[in-house]
């Protein structure tokens, strides 16, 4: 297992993408793993199966379009 770092901007972009494309309301921490994939901070190996757990229980819906 490895850890990767993503910027705040990448997390905000991932959160926005989750909302705009999939109508998934994610909190910032919940979008961090997706941000790693979208930003290229994590690159799966060929044939690797990846799952991202997304949480949104602490999301203020008003912030989904404000960022």
Distance CA 58, CA 64 (A): 12
Report how far apart, in Å, the C-alpha atoms of 26 and of each of 17, 46, 47, 53 are.
10, 28, 27, 10
How do residues 32-53 score in pLDDT, each as one tens digit?
Answer: 999 999 999 999 999 999 999 8
Q: Between 30 and 7, whose confidence is greater?
A: 7
Per the prediction, the chain carries an average pLDDT of: 89
What whole-number percentage of the chain has pLDDT above 90? Answer: 58
Tokens of 48: 């690797």
Angle at 60 between CA 36 and CA 24, to 5 degrees: 50
Query: Can you give the pTM of this predicted structure?
Result: 0.82
Q: Between 57 and 12, whose confidence is greater?
A: 12
Q: What was the pLDDT predicted at 66? A: 66
């Amino acid at each position: 297992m490895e850890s990767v770092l993503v910027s705040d901007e990448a997390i905000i972009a991932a959160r926005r993408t989750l909302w705009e494309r999939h109508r998934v309301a994610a909190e910032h921490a919940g979008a961090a793993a997706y941000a790693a994939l979208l930003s290229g901070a994590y690159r799966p190996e060929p044939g690797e199966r990846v799952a991202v757990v997304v949480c949104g229980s602490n999301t203020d819906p008003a912030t989904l379009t404000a960022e």
